Structure 1
């Protein structure tokens, strides 16, 4: 929790103003019982009405000043806490943006969402409470004790018993609640995960009639979280009635022993009334502290989770010194590359060596799990190799900044991802400064104009979240247009034609050949018809290159490739 306080530095002046306002508010509240005591002992007892009015007016002014200080401090503390959480959310988001895919896998998307929202909200609530109480609660407690002792030192011995008892109560509750709050945040992650999977996979769930199964999953996670929340809230709920019980018995004790001292002439009635007020202030300050102890354990658990995100060092970082790029453009070379996924016993890629250059179309084909997408992820440096090296334009990708590397690449991922907004916005995502003419040209090359022109508003038509109002093939063509508008040195198509019919596939490949003749093309595909005309075909099997050449060469010399071809094409088509 303390580690996050560094985000308060920009607001240190505001925090200081809040503390000063709370200081004066506390002084006013401590002064009021003394004024009331004077009214009773000097005004009422002596029948001095002018004195009563004078002190009463002073009490009103003190109360008004305290109210103004309280309202201002509350406003500033809420504003500061909101700004603090805004900055923290921004920092967490920026940190997550630097993660490699390995870090995403380690923490989990659902947990990252919870940490960026719920966990930061927990810390924000404690920040508001803390700014309000870090001065007022201690000052009211200590000041109340001092003022009570000034009224009657012997009667103040009651606090010697009461305060340790309340402190022990608060400590015991906090010790029991903290572990449960940590567990609660983990269960909230699980609930978020189940809910997210249900929302994303709703089509599959309905298609396989698994709605009841998913309801049970959600109810189990929800019940688990609820039971934990009820358990911890039962512990927390015990604080208030127990403190009120102690407070009431304390009041009885003060009246009992105070009346004896008044009867003996050792204390005045006004002083006893003021003493009761100070006792209440001491008790309420301890209640405020107890409320902090209720919220702090959960916020501490949340702060630990936030710090895990901020402290996690990304595996993939930019080099300290970026080498100057030479004049080669669009060259990609693999040199004896080996790659293991974290925790895997077998390599996903082993001893991969090849090179491609501008004006060439290189296709990568292989069975499921052969390492095709993994190879693409290494070029874009979503992961770093375990051995060997990957060079782009003659420079090891680990010696380039991630931004400069990815600026050279136009990637069309295996799963087309679209964003909420217009069709033009989604294509322009590849190049913010793209003109309308560039967007139209990219759409024409991607064979997307047919369905875009059929939309009511054309390029200004709105796409739903995830592009759910267009078909799979339309999504792929928009994703291809997004890469084309960038006009990069290297195009990577990761099985990006799978949802296209053969006619559209052929037209698209012909258009791509014309449009990208000066760039390097890497095409990952499952269909032989997509790769058959490539200049070079790389055949992967179990993470190894088992064949490399054109279609005819591989038919003769690569058994794995021939098996793939014969499974898709007839003997006449092969011939």
Structure 2
């Protein structure tokens, strides 16, 4: 895990190396100053040697200035290294997510990925900053102060040694106990983010059903879960401060009491006692800093695991060693295809699919809800891999193609149409970023979108709000169809993409397809038989199997499901979820 994360330090390695060096230099200067101060008192103040005071005082000023500069440099480089590390982590995670297959994305929730990219990375950034600065400074300061204390008076320094051992053990126990709660806290952030995401994205539904109180209650519950765990963790950590105070004051009292006796007995000087008291603060403040570092490490360890999970997740789909870069044509063939979303599933979603579709054909796909129509077409562009059998596109197994080359030739208009914030032209150019305005207008005419775009005051420069909230469902569908056509694909898949379009417009779109893109293989998933009855062939799906395959006339004669639904729809209102006679 640590190695995976540290790979992302990259160009900030130099800053990460010099930060501890500056912190060591700062500590050395701070350690020297009390020793020099003792010299001023013992050899300058008590003897009246003003020259010695000036000389050593000057050295102290230089040491203090060097320590100041080193501390500032350590802070600057530490901030640069930690912020850069966080930036690289976010970038690496986002790039890794872009390579994920749908199966990988199903493994992580959207809210979980957002939490990992934000809260978890911020925790790692703060921990990295503390490790570079405090985790270097505290042990070095502790060791140097302890060494100087033993050099001055080993008997009194033993008080520090005993205190450090006892206090270190107690702090380690507290940190270990608190870490258990931090491991539970950050997954709870996923629930909190999920609650917010669902509420904001579905705010119209929430208000339409007057469910604000219910959503508020759900958010309150997620927030209270985090609150309770943080309280439990902090209740363990709260003992840090009083323990440190007890240790500091106990050491000061013991050193002052025993040190005064030694001064009276002439075995210790006043300057040495002052130095020991200063080193006492250095030692115990170093322990305090270490405790802060351990708290941050305890908090960030859970975050580090979650970030590493994303960075080490490998896509379930991979390109072959020597991929085919060109799709010859739009022919499609399914050979004994089985498919399940989860490996080892006892019941596959698709079972023994055998189909042969010639390039340029128009194929209708109909069936009831849950009959696996979308699952069938998702396999063509290799959004998922088949569990058994094979799929051929252009005469080759889809696994032989470079995935980018294959998907560039298979345009999919999904059930859930997505538009991005920006102008209509910018949204259309997702299909081809170099497309001219004339090309965009042409595909919009094919998709019957040009007619409503021209009515907008700004035409093709009209701004689309996030998610396409300022256009209707039918307009959104037509824009998505136009965007897909701009790819000039060899295979065009419309997944129930004209459900919000009126029958007359639906007919115009299908007519434009027949006349303008005759060489493109068109797969149209629909609930209305009228949307597919003039297709070259129609596939009837039923519970993950092909129940029928043929023309409208052939299916009317041979397929009971198709005939019953057609008759119910012509009588009014029927679809594949309401079969005739039921």
Whole-angstrom CA distance in 2 between matches of 1:534 and 1:117: 49
Contact 1:554–1:561 (Cα < 8 Å) also in 2: yes
CA deviations on 1:50-95 (whole Å, 9 max, x unpaired) are 3323322322221111111111111111111111111111111121
Counterparts of 2:560 and 2:201 in 1: how far apart (Å)? Answer: 40
State the match for 1:545 in structure 2: 546
- Aligned twin of 1:348: 349
Q: Secondary structure of the equivalent of 2:154?
A: coil
- Provide the residue aligned with 2:458 in structure 1: 457
Counterpart CA distance in 1 for 2:345 and 2:214 is: 31
| 1:567 to partner: Cα distance | 2.3
The 8 Å contact of residues 358 and 517 in structure 1, kept in 2 or not, is answered as no
For residue 364 of structure 1, give the secondary structure of its aligned residue in structure 2: strand
Match of 1:149 in 2: 150
1:207-218 equivalence runs, <5 A: 207-218=208-219
Aligned to 2:48: 47
Moved more, 506-515 or 358-367: 506-515
Q: 3-state DSSP class of the match of 1:83?
A: helix
Please give the secondary structure, in 2, of the residue aligned with 1:369.
coil
Query: Does the CA contact (< 8 Å) of 2:331 and 2:360 recur in 1?
Result: no
Deviation digits for residues 424-456 of structure 1 (CA, Å, limit 9, x no counterpart):
111001111111111111112111122222223
Q: Partners of 1:65 and 1:543 in 2: how far apart? A: 75
Q: Which residue of 2 aligns with 1:17?
A: 18
CA contact (8 A) 1:37 1:273 kept: yes
Distance 2:264 2:6 in 1: 53
Distance 2:451 2:366 in 1: 30
Q: 2:289 is matched with which residue?
A: 288
**Which segment is superposed worse, 444-453 or 462-471?**
444-453
> Deviation at 1:21?
1.5
- 1:332 matched to 2:312: no
Q: Give the corresponding residue for 1:232.
A: 233
Partner Cα distance (2:457, 2:44) in 1 = 84
* More displaced stretch, 6-15 vs 172-181: 6-15
Q: Is the 8 A contact 2:379 2:385 kept in 1?
A: yes
Displacement, 1:476? 0.7
Residues 520-555 of structure 1: per-residue CA shift (max 9 Å, x gap): 101111111111111110000011111111111111
Deviation for aligned residue 1:344: 4.4
2:410 paired residue number: 409
What's 2:577 paired with?
Answer: none
Partner of 1:37: 38
Does structure 2 retain, via aligned residues, the 8 Å contact 1:119–1:306?
yes
CA distance in 1, matches of 2:53, 2:458: 78
Question: Hey, which bits of structure 1, 4+ residues long, moved more than 3 A?
Answer: 323-326
What's the Cα RMSD here?
A: 1.6
- 1:9: how far off? 4.3
| Counterpart residue number, 2:486 | 485
Deviates more, 1:302-311 or 1:201-210: 201-210
- Corresponding residue for 1:130? 131
Residue 167 of structure 1: CA displacement? 0.8
Post-superposition offset of 1:206: 1.9
Distance 1:413 1:344 in 2: 26
For the 8 Å contact 1:187–1:221, the answer to whether it is kept is yes
Q: CA deviation at 1:7?
A: 2.1
Give secondary structure in 2 for the equivalent of 1:545. strand
Cα deviation, 1:299-348, whole Å, max 9, x if unaligned, reads 1111111111122222111112214657x311111111111121743221
Task: Write the distance in 2 (CA, Å) between the matches of 1:164 and 1:458.
Answer: 75
Query: Is the CA contact (8 Å cut-off) linking 2:333 and 2:357 kept in structure 1?
Result: yes
Residues 27-55 of structure 1: per-residue CA shift (max 9 Å, x gap)? 10111101111111112112233332332
Partner of 2:580: none
Q: Secondary structure at the match of 2:163?
A: helix
Question: 2:305 corresponds to which residue?
Answer: 304
Unmatched runs of 5 consecutive residues or more in structure 1: none
Structure 2 distance, partners of 1:184, 1:428, is 42
Q: Does 1:435 find its partner at 2:421?
A: no
The alpha-carbon distance between structure 1 residues 14 and 108, as it changes in their structure 2 partners (threshold 3 A), is: same
Q: Distance in 1 between matches of 2:11 and 2:110?
A: 30
Task: State the SS of the aligned residue for 2:67.
Answer: helix
- Tell me the alpha carbon deviations over residues 355-414 of structure 1, each in whole angstroms, 9 at most, x when there is no partner: 223321011000111110111111121211111111111111122221111011111001
Task: Kindly indicate whether the alpha-carbon contact (under 8 Å) linking 2:135 and 2:293 is maintained by their aligned counterparts in 1.
Answer: no
Deviations 1:214-249 (A, max 9, x none): 111111111111111111112122212221221121
C-alpha contact 1:325 1:395 (8 A) present in aligned 2:
no
Number of aligned positions between the proteins? 571
Contact persistence 2:326–2:405 (CA under 8 A): no
SS of the aligned residue for 1:454 comes to coil
Q: CA deviation at 1:188?
A: 0.7
Structure 1 position 471, deviation (Å):
1.0
1:389 is paired with a residue whose SS is: strand
Contact 1:169 1:239 in 2 (8 A): no
Residue in 1 aligned with 2:578?
A: none
Equivalent-residue separation in structure 2 for 1:199 and 1:458 (angstroms): 29
1:108 Cα deviation after fit: 1.3
Deviation (angstroms), 1:100 = 1.8
**Stretch of structure 1 that moved more, 339-348 or 197-206:** 339-348
Distance 1:491 1:69 in 2: 64
Q: Which range moves more in the overlay, 60-69 or 486-495?
A: 60-69
- When normalised by structure 2's length, the TM-score is 0.95
Question: Residue 28 of structure 1 corresponds to which residue in structure 2?
Answer: 29
1:132-156 Cα deviation digits (max 9, x unpaired) = 1232111101011000111111111
Query: Structure 2 matches for 1:473-512, cutoff 5 A?
Result: 473-512=474-513
CA distance in 2, matches of 1:357, 1:87: 47
Aligned to 1:177: 178
The answer on whether the counterparts of 2:424 and 2:463 sit within 8 Å (CA) in structure 1 is yes
